[in-house]
Structure 1
Amino acid sequence: MLALLELLYGSGLRATELVSLPLNAVPRDAPFLTISGKGGTQRMVPVSAWATRALTDWLGARERGGRFVFPSPRGGHLSRVRLFQLLRDLALRAGLDPEKVSPHVLRHAFATHLLEGGADLRVLQTLLGHADIATTQIYTHVDAARLVTLVNQRHPLARS
């Protein structure tokens, strides 16, 4: 569960990308995953130190065999539906409204927190695997007060 959460929030993966992640997408010597996204496009996604630790622990604990990082007991990989169920159950145990917790919410939080931390929109577009920058902009919801502060602090005429 920890590896699932860390990769959802720490790398901004889509639910389908996460559950269908093949073992060969996880290199042993680099902090990147090779993700096959929508339309079969591939991208490199950095993995945080926290997610790397959780993933390493999970790979050491999971049963051998199978070609997916998150295998299903019935063969193949964990389903998107099961991922949603696991997140909802975890939300309930944590005292959170399960209707407000989903893989997409964690992906959105990843995008929003990176932007709030100063990430470039084009970099975020690449990390999320969006073909169109307009799709990335939909993820952003920057409050008006923050924009005014940014202009007042960063614009050259604000210093005059």
Structure 2
Amino acid sequence: MDDIIQEYLHHLRIEQGLAVNTVQSYKRDLNKYTSFLAAKKIASFDAVVKADVKEYLTMLNAEKLATSSISRMISALRQFHKYLVEEKVIKINPLDDLKLPKKKQNLPKSLSVNEVDHLLSTPDTKTVLGLRDRAILEVLYATGLRVSELVTLTLSELHLDLGFIQTIGKGDKERLVPLGEEATYWVEAYLATSRPSLAKGRAETPHLFLNFHGKGFSRQGIWKNLKKLVQEAGIHKNVSPHMLRHSFATHILENGADLRIVQELLGHSDISTTQIYTHISKERMVESYRQHHPRA
């Protein structure tokens, strides 16, 4: 069974072009599944029946995993067994008519425009690190980049004269994202003074944003730095880099942007992922109506 899983993971990575992190997620889910089968002394996938899958789901529920996690695992198993049918490893997919548990839709939280303005103005831009932090915040809010995209952003992917940045998102898909005048200004200021100081005369590193040691940031480094700035700004919310991404999407939709354009900017492969932001806008519309209409 291990050999078949390895072939499948290779299929996901090479033929379907899924990102490394996504493939690793599939690997973890399938390893958990095969461990369960091994405990039941099931030695091949063609011996798996629907009752075995239901027992596996019962076990997952007993572990009190989130509904979203269980849904993801079932989806992974369904795709895997579909692959096994196509490769003639098994004849029947035991998950074909299995109903997925309903996934609870949690609306992403975002900052208000005033909170974003306050956060962006928090770093002391007269200092090397403050100017860098301002540039990072401006880029996150101006582009809606994922933190993983931000930390891998290189100098060669900047096209400041055109007002765009180039990035590689999920599934290794490349996209161009407008940067905007304000963010461009702060990035240019950072490149002119802060970055040379942080590089400390080392051999040129390709990363755009450098930490105190002159190296590219880690995801954890960006998160930790943001937490400090949020605290300094006096914002009492659990702000993450992803919340700035949500704020970017919510604010441009509220100002009339087309949903398809937002989908492209965020790098969503499916517009249904982007549509969650329309629910946020509707909630705020109702809230504003109740607050300002004399008979609400």
Query: Would you call these one fold, judging by a TM-score over 0.5?
Result: yes
**Matched letter for residue 263 of structure 2:** Q
1:60–1:144 Cα change, 3 Å: closer
Aligned residues between the structures: 147
Residue by residue, what CA displacement relative to the aligned partner does 1:48-70 show, whole Å, maximum 9, x if unpaired? Answer: 11100011011112125210101
**Post-superposition offset of 1:19:** 1.3
**Post-superposition offset of 1:39:** 1.2
2:145–2:245 contact (8 Å) kept in structure 1: yes
Measured in 2, the distance between the counterparts of 1:105 and 1:42 equals: 22
Pick the structure with greater CA Rg.
2
Q: Unmatched 5+ residue regions in structure 1?
A: 150-160
2:149–2:169 contact (8 Å) kept in structure 1: yes
Partner residue, 1:78: 217
Secondary structure of the structure 1 residue equivalent to 2:250: helix
Measured in 1, the distance between the counterparts of 2:263 and 2:211 equals: 30
2:259–2:274 contact (8 Å) kept in structure 1: yes
**Post-superposition offset of 1:76:** 4.9
1:95–1:144 Cα change, 3 Å: closer
Residue by residue, what CA displacement relative to the aligned partner does 1:93-115 show, whole Å, maximum 9, x if unpaired? Answer: 11112x52111111000000010
Q: Unmatched 5+ residue regions in structure 2?
A: 1-132, 289-296
Partner residue, 1:87: 226
Please tell me whether residue 105 in structure 1 is matched to residue 243 in structure 2. Answer: yes
**Matched letter for residue 139 of structure 2:** L
TM-score, reference length from structure 2:
0.47
The percent identity for this pair of structures is 44
Partner residue of 1:37 out of 169, 178, 185: 169
Partner residue, 1:21: 153
Residue by residue, what CA displacement relative to the aligned partner does 1:23-55 show, whole Å, maximum 9, x if unpaired? Answer: 100024210001111111100100011100011
RMSD: 2.0
Please tell me whether residue 54 in structure 1 is matched to residue 186 in structure 2. Answer: yes
Secondary structure of the structure 1 residue equivalent to 2:177: strand
Measured in 1, the distance between the counterparts of 2:230 and 2:284 equals: 31
Measured in 2, the distance between the counterparts of 1:33 and 1:49 equals: 13
Measured in 1, the distance between the counterparts of 2:229 and 2:283 equals: 33
**Post-superposition offset of 1:80:** 0.7
TM-score, reference length from structure 1:
0.84
